Chains A and B, each alone.
Chain A
Amino acid sequence: MTNRGEPLLRVEDLRIRFDGSDVVSGASFELGPGEVLGLVGESGCGKSLTALAILQLVPPPGSVAGGKVIFSGVDLLALPEREMRRRRGAEIAMVFQEPGASLNPVLSVGSQVAEVFTVHRGFSRRAAMREAVALLERVGIPDAAARAGDAPHRLSGGQRQRAAIAMAIAGRPRLLLADEPTTALDVTVQAQILELLRRLREETGMAVVLITHNLGVVAEMADRVAVMYAGKVVENAAVRDLFRRPLHPYTQGLFASLPDLRDPDKALLPIPGVVPRPDAMPSGCRFRDRCPLAGEICAEEPLLLARGPGHAVACHKVES
């Protein structure tokens, strides 16, 4: 585990409400400068919304209903839109699962990257274009000078994601939010993009929140992991601790249901049942209907408590 000084980002008990139900209800985690935090969970657990909330971009009718997002000492949730806009793209940037989502289909790739240089870093248009081409080359787009003039659809899926990453890092952010950046890509291309993210992190020292459902990707990329289930962070630990000794029954269930490339004889134990819908959440622990250990006490809401150095778990049944 890295030396933990003042965190760069601290999310505290974040709550996001949609149509009267809390879709995210208690997301807490932190990461230091230059760290990679893997935010893991299954679809609908609220991991993408959590990232959007960090940028104050929760789509209506959703809204942040409580909690804090402290980014280098400032609570982002308390900032006016004008202040927030200055930070988006410059201090905190985001890439999405579909690279198309962050690229304008009718503008050339180069001009979109260049725009970040003019808006956030005050470059002239010509200098910005030159920087954009250099950056496209740096993220591994072959023949970048020529590709810069192309519209996004002329690029392959992997190259589009490279361009989206170039755009995200153009403002030299200190924090990159990457929402399933390789999920839409083939495995050989995924390996290329992960390698690129790893290299860029080393070169720029930016911190990364890597949202993914893939525990393999987490193991390869992350320093710390926060596991989300049904809108809550249920476990939070250094990556080695989490993989060596998962403590929450949900995290244990995830590992037990994961086929292993190296061990074909591993007996897979599925987690019974399905994730409850946001309007039908059980009271107390949200995992209790599927949990093999659940007891009466689980009707009370478990708190996310430290159970070891840097290892926090929200479960009544875990012994300290």
Chain B
Amino acid sequence: MKDARVLVSDLRVRYRARAGWFRPAGKDVRAVDGVSLAVGKGETLALVGESGCGKTTLGRALVRLVEADAGEILFVPDDPADPAVERVLRDSRSPARRILPDGRAAVDVRRVRGADLRRLRRRLQIVFQDPYGSLDPRMTAGAILAEPLAVHRIARGRARGEEVDRLFERVGLRADVRQRYPHEFSGGERQRIGIARALALRPSFVVLDEPLSALDVSVQAQILALLRDLQGSERLSYLFISHDLAVVRSLAQRAAVMYLGEIVEEGPVRRLFEEPLHPYTKALLSAVPVPDPETRRPVLLLSGEPPSAASPPPGCRFHPRCPVAEARCRTEVPAPRTPEAGRSVTCHLVEGE
């Protein structure tokens, strides 16, 4: 991808099922099982899928809140002299330094350690789903926003206060709320604080993990507008994790569909929604209830529910629920193919290179 900011290849995250007092050791859960993707500058890549498919784990692995077991996460800074990456990139012997085929310098996120990792985190941030659980109830809103600035020694004294005020204003909150505690805010306002906290360090890549799911529709639209506005002004790249396909369609340029730890289809949102190719994507899209009582559209009902990621089915992981599965789908693992430029589908029944 031209202008890629984050490049992920063959990423794997496993949760180990250790034996407990009364629990025999189970099988490891392969939450993310060989995922590759790229997010461009100023682009939103949506990651969609049902609960348990591994989308949250993948998002957290990209910002090192969860450690991956294998694979590569490359971060391409806009400016190699950016203090967040400069030390790693200057050291030619650093194991985290990479030079891409096009000559740009990149940081191997999984190999960055210690103080270098702390500096790198300024550019890689995350916003969580739950605006109730992700803010410390004992800190005022102002303290919550000042904390990352203090940890990263970004602004001092008066300048820090001014920066906090700027952040409040940036996310549409009046600065006089800085003395209030999280419980004094509504859900939407709390999510604005969560977003402001992620922006405090001027990131370039932000993982948005279901940031709208806990909010009511009328408030969702407010936050959606804010996310779009911030992306435009700061040229942010988003990985937007969501199960709400209508929201995905309105925010993202590209989407990746995840099923049991794997990406089964990826492409431009417009094409993917107009003509989904993977049977799972088709089912997912057809299952979304349309807010129009005068259209009756056929729903492609899937049988059953996703199986456990601890014991994924052999062959294509989707085959037990797939309405068009054939004999080979039960035994052969499908390889991704390219039915048209910019799209990738992992299904035996889709034609393509």
- A: residues with CB less than 8 A from B are 42-43, 142, 156-159, 186-192, 194-195, 213-220, 222, 239-240, 243-244, 253-262, 264, 266, 268-272, 274-275
The interface residues of chain B lying within 8 Å CB-to-CB of A42 are 216-218
B51 touches A220 (CB 8 A): no
A156 to B217, CA, bound (A): 28
Given A216-B290, A266-B250, residue A43 in contact with residue B216 (CB < 8 A): yes
A258 touches B305 (CB 8 A): no
Residues of A within 8 A of B285 (CB): 261
- Report the contact-size class of chain B (Cβ under 8 Å from the partner): 35 or more
Whether A270 lies near B222 (C-beta < 8 A) is yes
B291 within 8 A of A: yes
| Contact (Cβ within 8 A) A195 B301 | yes
The answer to whether B218 and A271 touch across the interface, beta carbons within 8 angstroms, is: yes
Q: Which residues of A contact B257 (CB under 8 A)?
A: none
Q: Chain B: which residue is nearest A250 at the CB level?
A: B218
Nearest A residue (CB) for B220: A257
Query: When chains A and B are docked, how far (Å) is the Cα of A264 from the Cα of B269?
Result: 9
**Contacts A191-B301, A240-B293 given: A270-B225 contact, CB under 8 Å?**
yes
B289 in the interface (beta carbon within 8 A): yes
Number of A-B contacts defined by CB within 8 Å: 131
Residues A191 and B225 in contact, CB atoms below 8 Å apart: no
Q: Is B302 part of the contact surface with A, judged by Cβ < 8 Å?
A: yes
- Which residues of A have CB within 8 Å of B292? 219, 243
Query: Which of B6-14, B67-75, B158-166, B241-249 participates in binding chain A?
Result: B241-249
CB contacts under 8 Å to A, within B302-336, are 302, 304-306
CA distance A308 to B326 in the complex (A): 54
Q: Identify B217's interface contact among A195, A213, A217, A260, CB under 8 A.
A: A213
Docked pose: A42 CA to B249 CA in angstroms: 22
Tell me, in angstroms, the Cα distance from A192 to B217 when the chains sit together: 24
Binding site for A on B (CB under 8 A): 50-51, 186, 188-189, 216-222, 224-225, 243-247, 249-250, 269-270, 273, 283-294, 299, 301-302, 304-306
A259 touches B250 (CB 8 A): yes
Contact present for B290 and A220 (CB under 8 Å): yes
- Measured CB to CB, the closest approach of chain A to B285, in angstroms, equals 8
Complex CA gap A192/B246 in Å reads 19
A240 smallest CB distance to B (angstroms): 5
A18 to nearest B CB, angstroms? 18
Contact A219 B290 (CB under 8 A): yes
- Which residues does chain B contribute within 8 Å of A216, judged by CB atoms? 288-291
Residues of chain A with a CB closer than 8 A to B294's CB: 240, 243-244
Chain A residues with Cβ below 8 Å from B286 are 191
When distances are taken between beta carbons in the complex, the residues of chain B under 8 Å from A156 are 305
| Chain B residues positioned under 8 Å from A268 (CB to CB) | 221, 224-225, 250
**Is B302 a contact of A188 with CB atoms below 8 Å?**
yes
A261 x B218 contact (CB < 8 A): no
A259 and B302 contact, CB distance less than 8 A: no
With a cutoff of 8 Å between Cβ atoms, the chain B residues found around residue A142 in the complex are 304
